[in-house]
A = this chain, B = another copy of it.
Amino acid sequence: MFILHERLARGCVDLGVHGICRVLLKDQAHFPWILLVPEVPLEVTELHHLSADLYRQVCESIREFSAGMARWPGIEKVNVAAIGNQVPQLHIHIVGRHSGDIAWPGVVWSCAEKRAYEPAERDRHCERIRSWMAVS
């Protein structure tokens, strides 16, 4: 049974499943920021630990969410990363960036500024992401 790591669960909205990945929106209003969390055993902490077939499925989800993020209003660049230095459960970041954002051109992982979404804004973003999941 899959259990989402508490640090991922705490700061995110759970949007359901795409392929083998749980899809989360991070509650960080400075950047549109999606996490893909493959629903695999906890000992699978690196992308290359996935079987060839599961790796292919995760890469396909990365491709679709990256393309979706590139269509997000105002987004100029997509940052994709599997890091996991702090939360061991395998998860992939898909982050939309633009040259006016608070961390540009630096990376979001070292940005100390946090702001939770207003509920209406968060709901709008969740709706947008769910619309990608519905068609793929």
Contacts and interface: CB of A to CB of B under 8 A. Distances in A.
Given A59-B55, A79-B85, A81-B79, A107 B107 contact: yes
Determine the main DSSP class of A at the interface with B: mixed
Interface residues of A, number: 30
Given A97-B85, A104-B85, A106-B109, A63 B80 contact: no
A47 B104 CA distance: 20
Interface of A: 45-48, 55-56, 59, 62-64, 66-67, 70, 77-86, 97, 104-107, 109-110
Given A56-B56, A78-B82, A109-B110, 10 more contacts: A48-B64, A48-B66, A48-B67, A55-B63, A77-B85, A80-B83, A106-B109, A107-B107, A107-B110, A109-B109
